Amino acid sequence: MIEIRDLHKRYGAHEVLKGVSLNVEAGQVVCLIGPSGSGKSTVLRCINGLETYEGGEIRAFGQPVDVRSPAIRQLRCRMGMVFQRFNLFAHRSVLDNVMEGPVHVLGQARGPARALALDLLDKVGLVDKAQAYPAQLSGGQQQRVAIARALAMKPEAMLFDEPTSALDPELVGDVLEVMRALAREGMTMIVVTHEMGFAREVADRVCFLHSGTIVEEGSSAQVLGAPRHARTQDFLRRVLHQPAQATLEPTP
């Protein structure tokens, strides 16, 4: 469904991705882990057609992902993206935030768009907040609205860039639960995360990125439980020594 071959990306003189290859099949959940600056967000932004790249190839749903292609907007609509910061429209209600894409981008009538939005808000446990404004919600609730908003476009794949890392620890669980439910429904997902418990539990595959290269890739049990590469071992040792948020225990 998503295929990356030998992706090279630079910012000026700085080579940020040095030949990244990754295949994601329909229904798979792939977690990208790695230290800050290793290129995780850049990989997602390239997949979503938000960045140019100098070498290699990205295909999504069988089509080339190319920022300069006129087809890119349509391709982008087929992938939902959720960022670390929820960037909801502050002056619109939760319901309007979720309806925005279907109405203004897909040209749906308001009636069906509203019904879909309410369904999705129900799914993320926030239907009672439909009329609230983003500022009246906790960070975790806002992030769940952001997920509902992405799902309203009926994406075929979802890309998550550290969706819980800006949240207070007690708000992380509800967001991960929504993501777990999506994975169970068979959504194709690429998730950049520091939540090792989530990765171990949900990921079909874990890729460890270091300095723009995937140094280790395998099942979550292998990469997280018995990492082969010294850099992976070192990273996991550091991440797992941080408190609460980054424990190998599945989030309750």
Mutual angle of helices 169-184 and 139-151, in 10-degree steps: 20
Residue 11's binding partner out of Mg ion, ligand ATP, none, with CB under 5 to 8 Å set by partner kind: ligand ATP
Residue 37's binding partner out of Mg ion, ligand ATP, none, with CB under 5 to 8 Å set by partner kind: ligand ATP
Task: Candidates 41, 143, 220, 251: give the one binding Mg ion (CB under 5 A).
Answer: 41
Q: Does residue number 41 form part of the binding site for ligand ATP (CB under 6 A)? A: yes
Q: Does residue number 30 form part of the binding site for ligand ATP (CB under 6 A)? A: no
Q: Does residue number 205 form part of the binding site for ligand ATP (CB under 6 A)? A: no
Segment near ligand ATP (CB under 6 A); pick from 35-43, 56-64, 124-132, 171-179? 35-43
Q: Does residue number 37 form part of the binding site for ligand ATP (CB under 6 A)? A: yes
Segment near ligand ATP (CB under 6 A); pick from 21-29, 40-48, 68-76, 183-191? 40-48
Segment near ligand ATP (CB under 6 A); pick from 38-46, 121-129, 131-139, 152-160? 38-46
Task: Candidates 36, 91, 107, 185: give the one binding ligand ATP (CB under 6 A).
Answer: 36
User: Which amino acid type is present at position 132?
Assistant: A
Site size with Mg ion, rule: CB under 5 A? 1
At closest approach, how far in Å is the CB of 7 from Mg ion? Answer: 16
Alpha helix ranges (H) inside 48-162 = 72-77, 94-100, 110-123, 139-151
Q: Which is nearer to ligand ATP, 114 or 210 (CB)?
A: 210
| CB burial readout 88-117, b (16+ within 10 A) else e | beeeebbbbbbbbbbbeeeebeeeebbebb
> Which 3 state secondary structure label does DSSP give 214?
strand
Alpha carbon distance 38, 164 (integer Å): 19
Under DSSP, the state recorded for 65 is -
Phi, psi of 217 (to 5 degrees): -145, 135
Q: Which helix (H) or strand (E) holds 39?
A: none
